[in-house]
Amino acid sequence: MTAVDNTPVGAGSAGPDRGTSSAAHRAAPSRRRRPPTALLGVAGLAGLLVLVQVLPSTPLVSARYLPPATEILAALVELLGDGAFWSALGDTLTGWAIGLAIAVSAGIALGVLIGSVPALRAVTASTIEFLRPIPSVALIPLAVLLYGTGLESTLLLVVYAAFWQVLVQVLYGVQDVDPVADETARSYGLGRWARIRHVIWPTSLPYVMTGVRLAAAVALVLAITAELVIGAPGLGNRIAVAQTSGAVDLMYALVVVTGLLGVGINLIARAVERRALSWHQSMRGEVIV
């Protein structure tokens, strides 16, 4: 005899649906969206402000050396209405921009030239490895002897520090060129400049942009260091003056300005890098927040 299924059609179909629905409901928390990175960054900044506000009221730090965040922010607002502050900011940006432009131009030109000629690369390899690790701050006495406390001293330190960031990256980029592609270009009769434009430059561009981004940050650090130590006009000089005059809240406000300036420069450099490398596979999967 054949067994007869007495289970109602509605009941049989409802069982699996309830099971599937419960499983999906249990799995839902694992797919919960994470907070945006920008929101997490804002939360971290808010936590830092709270910490700076609370620390001066504890025995750990004296308010004489670390004013509360409210006083620092008040001094920062006062700075915005000070013409001397904007003049100092302009001096810092001038030294940074000119030095970075010189370093990037020289680094790209020499990097492509040295990397494209194997004999030249072999001759200069030891010299590059000797000069590159020398800290730029070690050149401060030389800069003062040559140029005093003028803009030229700042440019010497900025160019020296930023130049190596670009040069080394360009050399790596030229080395990364596919030999088959280069030989194919030669077989089609492309000259040296044509091969640089159509083969070497597209391959090296991601390395170049990385070097420029690193050089931009290093150039800002050295520009402010030169102003702080040498006394060249700029934000670093204003920080030194505020520190010696006992205006601690003003000193911290200027430090905050330099930090914001660094963040802005980094964001601009990354935006330029994304735009210049929009065709490159490394940027296709990048999430912009």
Confirm if 257 and 269 have CB atoms less than 8 A apart.
no
pLDDT at 38 over 70: no
Task: Give residue 261's pLDDT band: very low, low, confident or very high (50, 70, 90).
Answer: very high
Residue bearing tokens 């960054």? 41
pLDDT of residue 214: 93
The 10s digit of each residue's pLDDT in 156-173 is: 999 999 999 999 999 999
The 10s digit of each residue's pLDDT in 171-190 is: 999 888 877 887 787 787 77
Domains delineated in the chain: 67-278 (1.10.3720.10)
Predicted structure pTM score: 0.78
3-class secondary structure, 134: coil
Q: Provide the Cα torsion 33, 34, 38, 44; round to 10°.
A: 150
